[in-house]
Amino acid sequence: MKPTWRTVLLWALPAVVVGFFLWQTTLMPMTFGGAAASAQTANANTASTRMTYGRFLEYLDANRVKSVDLYENGRTAIVQATDPELEGRVQRLRVDLPGTAPELMSRLRAANIELDSHPTQNNGAIWSILGNLVFPGLLLGGLFLLFRRSNNMPGGPGQAMNFGKSKARFMMEAKTGVMFDDVAGIEEAKEELQEVVTFLKQPEKFTAVGAKIPKGVLLVGPPGTGKTLLAKAIAGEAGTPFFSISGSEFVEMFVGVGASRVRDLFKKAKENAPCIIFIDEIDAVGRQRGAGIGGGNDEREQTLNQLLTEMDGFEGNSGIIIIAATNRADVLDSALLRPGRFDRQVMVDVPDIKGRLEVLNVHARNKKLGEDISLDVIARRTPGFSGADLANLLNEAAILTARRRKDAITMEEIDAAVDRVVAGMEGTPLVDSKSKRLIAYHEIGHAIVGTLLKNHDPVQKVTLVPRGQAQGLTWFIPSEDQSLVSRLQLKARIAGALGGRAAEEVVFGDAEVTTGAGGDLQMVAGLARQMVTRYGMSDLGPVSLESQQGEVFLGRDWTTRSEYSEEIAARIDAQVRAIVGQCHQEALQIVRENRVVVDRLVDLLIERETIDGDELRRIVAEYAAVPEKEQLARI
């Protein structure tokens, strides 16, 4: 990029200033200050012959001195005198006078000698004054250019006086490019927010019956479910001015800046009403006051107090609607959630199978799909995926399709994309070795136990292809979206997770078990403990003994309070061990009774590296010690 004259000047300014300073302090006294002195000295040196002061006094007593010219403030004199040795001819002589000789002036006047004084010209002082003015002038000019340049740069030094101004992105036409048709999978939330759009377009429908629209709407849900997209869709549908800001942009290192920005934001909103204010990630500024070590952050609490005050400072029908989004509603201050501020909370949860199909239809509009692609099948295979996950899934499949130089996305790319999104990037396949066979037995152990347990989720596939940190994977896909899980299902999941360790023990013995079950054992311990302490699924009875505790900096207590005695704690540990032990024995029994099919599946898995769930269930139905009809019914 070609540098502008301002850029060149900004880079050259420090060098000019430093050079001028050195020149002023060293060279200038020898040039400007010395110029005037040199002129005077030249006049004083017109006489080539010097005379001592004593000789001069002798000439003065002998009346030989005709005139005296004083130079250099009386330190040097040019004397015109007659010399008898030169037949009385007048000559010019230079005399160095002493510093103090007041009697000399009296003697010169008494002798009526022509006397003239030549004062020193003070041109050096003028140049010194000019030099002292030039340096500050250059400095001030450079600072002025810096400030002018930084005024056009966000966050530059020129913004120092604008700390208290709101950083909200403002769209007068609300051209967000997002409409309700672009938001899918969260129909309940869209219906709730449709009222907001209607109020902004036709407020008289509500005011005619005395209704007041909620001042604030809080969108709550996991990350990636479309909260920000919903806010943009509301602004796009209503066509009103749209203020968008993140909660973290209110908080600065300077005290009072956040509160000032809140005031400025609401002032602008009132000037442009009706409008929408969208605060994303409001938990950054709206967390509980007084929480954390030392009582919390004072600047953040001042900002929250100002926000609470401003939300109380306008009427419900003023045309200003505040929409906020967070995935941590449990840490928000209670004053922020009371009626009159955020009156309504809209839950934006992960979509169900119907919602996932709608989301896939939206994101597949600009994708070239193959004939074998079934969005319904993809929706069934992706339970728990949010809208952002599904968008990322189709994008990864499209990238993989381009990498493979195909014309359209096929189910092969979809399967690889699902694996990548859930488990990570594919690694290098394992070479045939004892380690590969051990991993194969471990994964088949999971698959055989999960397949033969009636209440377990069906197996989708088993693979030895490493992904992420896992050397092998067994995929279980629930047949339907489960909001409630039974005790039998929880125990089946524990047994299935222990199937890998059970296969290692049966095939290789207790001495050869590996660390491969570390993650499985953590999941088993957590699930079994929740069954005892939270779900009341043990001999201790239907009692919840533990509650979810947040961390200190998320607005919770510093220490977790024990809610039961040591005796109950010992009984909890015993119940957890009993549940895990029972499920472990069940897994061991299934692996022992079906050792033949386990060996058959391991050989097939080592050969192919991946076995599909349908093929696995057919093989198990042929060998397993259960009725064939029951196995085929699960296919």
Q: Which residues are catalytic?
A: 443
Say if strands 114-117 and 242-246 run parallel, antiparallel, or are unpaired: unpaired
Contact 299, 258 (CB under 8 A): yes
What CA–CA distance (Å, rounded) separates 442 from 449?
A: 11
What CA–CA distance (Å, rounded) separates 530 from 535?
A: 6
Angle at 134 between CA 130 and CA 139, to 5 degrees: 160
Contact 284, 324 (CB under 8 A): no
What CA–CA distance (Å, rounded) separates 515 from 602?
A: 20
Angle at 437 between CA 432 and CA 438, to 5 degrees: 135
Sequence-distant (≥ 6) Cβ neighbours of residue 50 within 8 angstroms: 93, 94, 95, 96
Sign of CA dihedral 594, 599, 602, 604: negative
Contact 344, 316 (CB under 8 A): no
What CA–CA distance (Å, rounded) separates 87 from 272?
A: 107
Cα→Cα distances 44→81, 121, 558, Å: 16, 14, 91
Question: What long-range pairs does 359-362 form, CB within 8 A, spacing at least 24?
Answer: 359/184, 359/185, 359/387, 359/390, 359/391, 360/390, 360/394, 361/184, 362/182, 362/184
From the centroid of its chain, how far is CA 455? 44
Angle at 619 between CA 616 and CA 621, to 5 degrees: 105
Q: Point out which residues pair with 320 in neighbouring strands.
A: 275
DSSP 288: P
* Beta strands in 74-161, from DSSP E residues, in sequence order: 76-83, 89-96, 114-117
Contact 390, 363 (CB under 8 A): yes
Q: Point out which residues pair with 467 in neighbouring strands.
A: 426, 470
Please spell the DSSP secondary structure of 307-374, one letter per residue: HHHHHTSS-TTSSEEEEEEES-GGGB-HHHHSTTTEEEEEE-PPP-HHHHHHHHHHHTTTS-B-TT--
